[in-house]
């Protein structure tokens, strides 16, 4: 029985266009580990390829060439192991010339970064194959796929050599949205409340492989215990595998991510250097670029600040959960998550992580408040109080949506089990926050308070201050 694909309509439409193209096409499919890149390509092409090769993780060139020869034999060529990648691509050229099928000849090279071992000359040989022959044939569709996003970007998409501007299309495969996650869970026979789905998302993100581990016979909390906290659980060692397979020097990336995990609003480049003790050179830029390209970290600016004041914030849900709970608690209590259900620190974690969930669903938020078609800029704001300004201490706005129609939505995000109540004290906080923001920003635009909550704002004396609401259900659209 063929497994159903969830979402990915846009990505499949791009692939369909390349199949129908009258030219040879080089298509780069990339995205973080476990996000479903290979499944997408295999599903679309129904595993029908003229040739398919998958790189082998952390193996030398000799092993990669052995696997190449074995695959060539499977597709009708001889099993002779080529001496190098130049000879290997000559063999592939011969195979493709002999193929007489109608339409595009589809070549799928999966985990391509793993083929590029030290001293292998893989990229140079691939460049010669594509530029010297395949690109001119008119009927070759080559899908290059890989999880090491930095390699895919540097070696293919931003290549300044023989592959410069040769990529016909780039398909970045993102995690599922909440709506797609719910659809996937239902396909597995898992019927949870949207509150539980949201909490699960704040741990796993919309990563299909992680979601695949969920057992429909267990509750949400039982699943988290069994997958992450039970000794030798299904994903007990996922963190090391995740960073080792994505980055060549994972220790530097882990150092940056760990530093960011301790500062919810994020850190500037200089603050990261100070916290990690990494050298202030090109390497730190590479590390940050890699993390941003993989969408583990988001760069943003405080409202009204310049680009050099860019803040880097950790946004990968699994990494945030790992540093908050898994790293120091794995194996100590197999029921750790269930036993922490009423822990204040867990509620604090949920509140902060819900903010990240909202930021990942900005389009849904804009749709809910009726501004999908309005050009917007998104930022945050923080007030650093001066001496004697105790009433304004720690004041911040995590989401500002500045609209072309001269309105700024000041968004407050609250994750709660019931309707959220604005009491007298919180009303005072909101008034001070918006007044201070107006004073400091000197904006003349209208400010509208938008509450993004799980179940809405309870009607009372102070709720009239809210001018628009977004509910958890709105994020599932």
DSSP string of 284-320, one letter each residue: HHHHHHHHHHTTSEEEE-BTT--GGG-EEEE--HHHH
Q: How confident is the model at residue 245 (pLDDT cuts 50, 70, 90)?
A: confident
Same domain, 130 and 260: no
Q: What distance in Å separates the CA atoms of residue 228 and residue 236, rounded to the nearest whole number?
A: 5
Mark which of 156, 172, 188 sits at the end of a domain. Answer: 172
What is this structure's pTM?
0.93
Q: Is residue 190 part of a domain?
A: yes
Q: Would you say 34 and 318 are in contact if contact means Cβ atoms under 8 Å apart? A: no
Same domain, 205 and 257: no
List of residues 6+ apart from 309 with CB closer than 8 A: 268, 301, 302
Same domain, 456 and 318: no
| Count of domains observed in the chain | 4
Which pLDDT score is estimated for 138? 92
Q: Is residue 126 part of a domain?
A: yes
Q: Does the pLDDT of residue 158 top 80, yes or no? A: no
Q: Does the pLDDT of residue 197 top 70, yes or no? A: yes
Same domain, 221 and 339: yes
List of residues 6+ apart from 81 with CB closer than 8 A: 65, 66, 68, 69
Bridge partner list, 457:
420
Same domain, 51 and 142: yes
Which pLDDT score is estimated for 247? 87
List of residues 6+ apart from 129 with CB closer than 8 A: 89, 92, 93
The 8-class DSSP code of residue 217 comes to: T
Q: How confident is the model at residue 427 (pLDDT cuts 50, 70, 90)?
A: very high
Geometric angle at alpha carbon 352, from 348 and 357, rounded to 5°: 135
Which pLDDT score is estimated for 153? 84
CA 17 to chain centre: 25
CATH code (residue 144):
3.40.50.300
CATH code (residue 419):
3.40.1350
Same domain, 42 and 141: yes
Three-class DSSP category at 444: coil
Q: Which uninterrupted H or E stretch holds 453?
A: strand 446-453
Which pLDDT score is estimated for 399? 96
Provide the CB-side half-sphere exposure for 200 (13 A, CA): 32
CATH code (residue 265):
1.10.10.10
Which pLDDT score is estimated for 239? 94
Per-residue pLDDT averaged across 206-230, rounded? 96
Q: Is residue 2 part of a domain?
A: no
Which pLDDT score is estimated for 331? 74
Q: Which of 73-87, 151-165, 282-296, 335-349 has the lowest mean pLDDT?
A: 151-165
Write out pLDDT tens, residues 349-396.
Answer: 999 999 999 999 999 999 999 999 999 999 999 887 766 655 546 689
Q: Is residue 3 part of a domain?
A: no
Q: Is residue 4 part of a domain?
A: no
Paired tokens of 247? 């980055």
Q: Which uninterrupted H or E stretch holds 11?
A: helix 9-20
Same domain, 79 and 53: yes
Q: Which of 16-20, 230-234, 389-393 has the lowest mean pLDDT?
A: 389-393
Three-class DSSP category at 372: coil
Q: Which of 209-213, 248-252, 365-369 has the lowest mean pLDDT?
A: 248-252
Mark which of 306, 324, 342 sits at the end of a domain. Answer: 324
Three-class DSSP category at 268: strand
The dihedral over CA atoms of 61, 64, 66, 71, expressed in degrees to the nearest 10, equals -150
Give the domain extent around 226.
178-236+330-352
Q: Does the pLDDT of residue 40 top 70, yes or no? A: yes
Three-class DSSP category at 141: strand
Same domain, 36 and 157: yes
List of residues 6+ apart from 332 with CB closer than 8 A: 229
Q: Would you say 383 and 374 are in contact if contact means Cβ atoms under 8 Å apart? A: no
Q: What distance in Å separates the CA atoms of residue 318 and residue 418, rounded to the nearest whole number?
A: 26
Write out pLDDT tens, residues 257-299.
Answer: 999 999 999 999 999 999 999 988 878 999 999 999 889 999 9
Same domain, 274 and 185: no
Q: Is residue 214 part of a domain?
A: yes
Same domain, 134 and 164: yes
Q: Is residue 1 part of a domain?
A: no
List of residues 6+ apart from 201 with CB closer than 8 A: 178, 181, 317, 357
Residue in this structure with the two tokens 């429909």, named with its chain if needed: 216
Name the average pLDDT for the chain.
Answer: 92
Mark which of 150, 172, 194 sits at the end of a domain. Answer: 172
Write out pLDDT tens, residues 290-329.
Answer: 999 889 999 998 998 766 689 999 999 999 999 999 998 8
Same domain, 209 and 85: no
Same domain, 382 and 469: yes
Q: Is residue 166 part of a domain?
A: yes
Paired tokens of 133? 């022959």
């Amino acid at each position: 029985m063929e497994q159903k694909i969830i979402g990915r309509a846009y990505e499949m439409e791009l692939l369909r266009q390349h199949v129908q193209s009258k030219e040879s096409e080089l298509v780069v499919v990339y995205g973080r580990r476990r996000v479903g890149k290979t499944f997408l390509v295999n599903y679309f092409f129904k595993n029908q390829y003229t040739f398919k090769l998958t790189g082998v993780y952390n193996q030398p060139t000799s092993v990669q060439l052995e696997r190449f020869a074995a695959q060539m034999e499977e597709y009708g060529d001889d099993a002779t192991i080529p001496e190098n990648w130049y000879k290997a691509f000559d063999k592939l050229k011969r195979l493709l010339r002999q193929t007489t099928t109608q339409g595009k000849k589809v070549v799928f090279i999966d985990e391509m970064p793993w083929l590029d071992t030290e001293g292998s000359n893989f990229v140079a040989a691939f460049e010669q194959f594509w530029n010297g022959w395949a690109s001119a044939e008119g009927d070759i569709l080559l899908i290059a796929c890989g999880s090491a996003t930095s390699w895919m970007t540097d070696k293919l998409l931003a290549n300044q050599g023989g592959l410069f501007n040769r990529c016909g299309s780039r398909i970045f495969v993102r995690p599922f949205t909440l709506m797609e996650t719910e659809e996937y869970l239902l396909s597995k026979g898992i019927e949870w409340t949207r509150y539980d789905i949201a909490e699960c998302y704040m741990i796993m993100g919309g990563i299909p492989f992680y979601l695949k581990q969920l057992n429909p016979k267990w509750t949400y909390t039982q699943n988290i215990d069994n997958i992450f906290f039970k000794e030798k659980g299904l994903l007990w060692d996922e963190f090391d595998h995740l960073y080792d397979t994505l980055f060549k020097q994972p220790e530097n990336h882990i150092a940056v991510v760990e530093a960011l995990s301790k500062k919810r609003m994020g850190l500037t480049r200089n603050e990261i250097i100070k916290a990690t003790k990494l050298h202030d050179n090109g390497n730190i830029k590479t590390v940050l670029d890699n993390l941003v390209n993989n969408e583990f970290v988001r760069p943003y600016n405080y409202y009204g600040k310049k680009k050099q004041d860019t803040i880097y914030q950790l946004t990968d849900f699994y990494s945030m959960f790992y540093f908050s709970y898994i790293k120091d608690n794995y194996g100590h209590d197999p029921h750790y998550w269930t036993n922490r259900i009423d822990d204040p620190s867990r509620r604090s974690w949920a509140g902060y992580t819900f903010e990240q969930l909202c930021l990942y669903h900005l389009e849904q938020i804009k749709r809910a408040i009726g501004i999908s078609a309005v050009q917007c800029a998104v930022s945050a704001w923080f007030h650093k109080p001066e001496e004697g300004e105790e009433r304004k201490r720690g004041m911040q706005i995590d989401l500002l949506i500045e609209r072309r129609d001269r309105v700024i939505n000041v968004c407050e995000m609250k994750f709660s089990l019931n309707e959220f109540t604005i009491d007298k004290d919180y009303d005072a906080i909101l008034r001070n926050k918006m007044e201070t923001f107006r004073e400091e920003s000197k904006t003349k635009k209208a400010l509208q308070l938008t509450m993004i909550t799980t179940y809405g704002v309870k009607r009372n004396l102070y709720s009239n201050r809210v001018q628009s609401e977004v509910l958890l259900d709105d994020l599932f659209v």
